[in-house]
Every structure is written in C-alpha cells, then in structure tokens.
Structure 1
Amino acid sequence: MSTQSPRSAQAAQPAATHAPRVPKDSRRRGRWTLLVIALICAAPIAISYFTYYVIKPKGGTTSYGALIEPQRPVPDALMVTGDDGHDVPLASLKGRWLMVSVDGGACDEACATKLYFMRQVRATQGPERERIVTVWLRTDGASVPEKVKGAYADTRMLRADPVAVAAWLPATETTKDTDHIYMVDPNGNLMMRFPANADPSKIKQDVTKLLKWSSIG
C-alpha cells in the first residue's frame, strides 16, 4: 500500500479560496455615502424640530408673538377700499408678509405708535424689508390726517368693515383687535399676534426669524 508524505498530502489538497479584499479607499467612500444619505434623511426631522421649538411659541419658545392656531386664511369676502375708491379683496395682497394694524381713520396716539413701530421694524430688515407690506385697516370713514399720510406713505391705508375685520383678527379676553399688530404670511394665513403695547425690538426679532427661516414671500 502506497503512502504519501505529509508534505505531499498538503500539496494534494485544493488551495483555500479567499474573498477579494476591498480597497481602503472604496470602504471609506462607502462610509461617506452612507453618512450623507443618513444626513439627508434626518434633515427634515431636524428642521421640523427647530421650527417647533424655536419658531413656534410653544414648549420653551423664544418667540414674542403668539402663534395663531389654527391659521386663519384671509377671508375671500373681506373687501378693502383704497384711496382710489376701488374695492378689492384683502386676499389680493397675498405674496408678501403683511404687518397689519386696525384703527379708526382719525388715528389717535396709540394708532400712530403702532404705525411707527411697523415702519421701523420693516426698515430694520435691510434688503429683506421688500418682503414686508405694512397695512392699516381703517374701520370707519374718518379722513386720515395729512401728517399721518405723509409720515407713513409706504403703509397701505385701506378701509374695511369693522365687523368682518373683528371676525378674522382674534384678540384676547382683555383686548380688542385695535390693540394688536398682526402678521399674515405670504400664503394669506394670519399666523401671529403681537401683544398690546408691544416692544418693537422684540417684534423685530420675531420678524427677522420669520424672514430668515422662510423661503416664501
């Protein structure tokens, strides 16, 4: 009976197969690709958390104005009248951010203060100010004083029915719509109400954030 030496037996066995080694560069590229995909998938979640906890006035918010929930679209039936005497829907102003105040046409000191705050907040936004329109809804037929017209020439001064305006603009249990400044987004949704006797520097902070984190308008 023939015998084989251990060396011959080893030579007779088939050679073991090994999986091809992946180059380090390819493995590194693969890891980066997975990381990028993970970041893309996580981005919407991160943005939504930022919007909820920073922009919206809830749960540790830094916002000054009160968020209107649910949002209130500008009513299609809410008509306004300009100095030209033509009636148009207020919704026709959609497309830019609206800062809205409500008062009688005679415009007392409180009215003039709100118009001044709105003008200054808009002016401090730099190039972004063109995304904002300041709107004064006049709820009676009183003539606007010439000094007010001259001081706030960039403000849209529109007559509107006071009942329709009050039904759209919410106040608090202790205030009226004439006590507040409101924000309407470019889609025509009433979305924020600033407090009565508001601090204009805090309004500015909110408006700056809205413009920074919103791509509309």
Structure 2
Amino acid sequence: MGAAMNPPARSDMPAPARRRGRLQLLLILLVTVGPMVLATFMYKLHFWVPEGRSYHGELIANGQTRADLGVQADETRWQMLVTTPGECAADCQQLVYLARQIQIGLGRDASRASHALAAPQPQSADYEARLAHEYPRLQRYPLVLGKYAPLVEGEPGPHLWIIDPHGNLVLRYGPQVNGKDLLNDLRQLLKLSNIG
C-alpha cells in the first residue's frame, strides 16, 4: 500500500515515459519561447518583413510632436493640420477644403477629429472672410517658421499632417494627396485607436 501512494523515482520510470516527458517539455518551450526568438531575429536581420504598407502618407514615427512642428495647441482629438510657410495659396486652400471634407466623411466619427490651419502670418482679408464664412469650425494657429522649416526641408509648400490626441505627428501628405486615400488612412487610425 505504501508503494502505491509514493510515485516511482525518476530512475524507476521506464525509458519511453522519460523520453515522452522530455519531448513534451521541449514542445512547451518551443511554443512559448520560439515566437519571441523568431520575432527578434526577424527584426534584427530584416527578413520576412512585409514590404507593403497600408497607409498612403509619409509615416512620421520618430516621436516628433505638434510643438516640434512650431504649433502650440491644446487639441485632444485627432487633428488634420494644414501648414503653410506663407500665404495660403491655391494648393494650401485645396488642403484646407480637403481636411473639412474628410472630417465630414468620417460620419459618426467626425467628433473624434478636427481640422486646422497653421500659418506664420494672417491671411488676406478676402481669404480670412471666406474662412470665417465657409469653415466656421476651422481652428487657426500661428506657425513658428524656425521650428517648421527643418521638418520640411527640401519640401517647400503646404502640407497636411495627421496628429494624434497626444500631439504626436503620425502622417504627412503633400498638396497632391488623394482625398480617398487620406480618408482611408484616418478611418484606419480611428479604428485602431482607443484614444481621442
């Protein structure tokens, strides 16, 4: 009766049972540690990394913020910010129009985003009147050119930026951006985000 209560010592286990136990332990280690090791090697050696991407703008993934861009704002929603180093000419005005249309196109998620214009100087009286009439919700900010210029070096002209609720720059688009692509990018960000 005493022998039945005490399990046999490891040396008393038959060889097939020991091999099966080692195989199970090896499989458990492989399943738990294997993916982490594989992911580390993929990252370090750059293999099996997908070449495609699901966004259309230029990804800004270096921790830069709206303040680094030369704009001070307290916006806590996702923001489409149009920046221009000077007068908001036709291509800039097209981006301002597009930002408003994209926000409308978000439908029920429209309240999670805003649109804004940042420029170093006031716009012409005609355009200011037009903005006040046609874009009543457009936020406007001063742009500090000394901070802005290094971020867009070699790419003068207006840009449209998607900025997260924490003020981080996420994506940048030039004046030729396709509105449908921009809308898809912003919808994807809102879908994946639990902030804003």
TM-score, length of structure 2 as denominator length: 0.66
The answer to whether the aligner puts 1:213 opposite 2:196 as a matched pair is no
The equivalent of 1:152 in structure 2 is 135
- Whether 1:204 and 2:183 are equivalent positions in the alignment is yes
Tell me the amino acid that sits aligned with residue 149 of structure 1: A
Q: What does residue range 48-67 of structure 1 map to in structure 2 within 5 Å? A: 59-67=51-59
Q: Greater helix percent: which structure?
A: 2
Aligned counterpart, 1:111: 92
Structure with greater strand percent: 1
In structure 2, the partner of 1:27 is none
Choose between structure 1 and 2 for higher RCO, CA contacts under 8 A separated by at least 6 residues: 2
Q: What are the equivalent positions in structure 2 for 1:132-151 lying under 5 Å apart?
A: 132-144=113-125, 145=127, 146-151=129-134
> For 1:7-58, what per-residue CA distance to the aligned partner results, in whole angstroms no more than 9, with x for missing partners?
xxxxxxx9xx9xxxxxxxxxxxxxxxxxxxxxxx9xxx9xxxxxxxxxxxx7
Question: What do residues 50-94 of structure 1 show as CA deviations (whole Å, max 9, x unaligned)?
Answer: xxxxxxxx7311210111121202338956xxxxxxxxx32x22x
Aligned length, in residue pairs:
152
* Aligned residue number for residue 194 of structure 1: 173
CA RMSD of aligned residues (A): 3.0
CA deviation vs aligned residue, 1:182-212 (integer Å, no higher than 9, x gap): 1111111111112331111110110110111
* Residue aligning to 2:63: 71
Structure 2: runs of 5 or more not aligned: 5-31, 37-49
Distance 2:165 2:180 in 1: 23
Gaps of 5+ in 1: 1-13, 18-40, 46-57, 80-88
Q: Could you tell me which residue of structure 1 aligns to residue 109 of structure 2?
A: 128
> Which amino acid counterpart does residue 57 of structure 2 have in structure 1?
G
Quote the offset at 1:142 in angstroms. 3.8
TM superposition shift of 1:143: 4.0
